[in-house]
Amino acid sequence: MLPRTCRNAVAAIALCAALLLTSRPAASQPPPASPQLQQLLERLGAVAQSLEHSLPSLTCVETGVSQALKKGKVKKHVAFAANLRAIRIPGASLHESFTLTQIDGKPYNKPGFPFPFYAGEGFDSAMVYFRPSQQPCYLYTLSPGRIDFQTIPDAAAHPPCRAEGVRGFALLDAAGNVTHVERTVPESSTRNFNLTPFAAIDLAPVDLNGHTYQLARHIVSRTYHTDFTGHFEATYSNCQLYTASVTILPPTQVVPGATPPSQ
């Protein structure tokens, strides 16, 4: 996700897009994977590419909370509801925007976003760790129902891999679909690459335009500052294909010098 500046916000850090890497191969390669692991990585790579390139524009209802905590105590708490749109931009990733509808249970139509911390844009980036172009940047370990990953030891020496010290895991259902992705990032990489230190995404199947995608259903993200900890949590529901409509009005004859009719 890309950083979002929020009015009256203490911090706004995007969840996943800052993790996007270039498609150049890394200079060093991890040890060869076992046939079972390689088969799974090929499958997950295809899913990740589908999210990156084929996931159509969509709209969802987003509900969640944003908090600022200090010494374990909640200093600010904002509950919200919004209509979220994730629009496919040709040649780029999905771009998210949202319209707030409620703040703390009350209708909201003011400008700005009164969150202490916000994270988003995880629909096409949740599987970034398994994209074929990114797989050389990680070491993978397979266990029943789970695949762990961490960046290669010399990641900083290879610009395509960028952040060092990324560790995480994905949980798999019986059919091999990813149902949960979780990762942590050390302080140095959060600072250098604008990443949240902790992020977790639950995924669930959504039918869009005749195809089923494993999409973000619930996200949790945390960030740490000298004076507060930001906590963000959101659930996405009623996700459906986004379509825009255009209304063509009947032609109107324009008479020079005439006063336009009132609408």
Q: Which residue has the tokens 């949960």?
A: 180
How many structural domains does the chain have?
A: 1
12 in a domain, yes or no? no
170 in a domain, yes or no? yes
67 in a domain, yes or no? yes
- Whole-number pLDDT of residue 89: 84
Q: What is the pLDDT of residues 145-167, one digit of tens each?
A: 999 999 998 887 877 787 788 99
pTM equals 0.79
6 in a domain, yes or no? no
248 in a domain, yes or no? no
Q: What is the pLDDT of residues 48-90, one digit of tens each?
A: 999 999 999 999 999 999 999 998 899 999 999 999 999 988 8
128 in a domain, yes or no? yes
Domain with 135 in it: 17-238
Question: Can you say how many angstroms the Cα of residue 37 is from the centroid of all Cα atoms in its chain?
Answer: 25
Q: Which residue has the tokens 């780029």?
A: 92
> 211-220 contacts: CB < 8 A, separation 24 or more?
211/54, 213/50, 213/51, 213/55, 214/47, 214/51, 214/127, 214/177, 214/178, 214/179, 215/55, 215/58, 215/123, 215/126, 215/239, 216/122, 216/123, 216/126, 219/15, 219/119, 219/120, 219/122
46/157 Cα distance (integer angstroms): 27
Residue type, 254: V
73 in a domain, yes or no? yes
182 in a domain, yes or no? yes
79/97 Cα distance (integer angstroms): 18
Bridge partners, 67 (sequence order):
77, 231
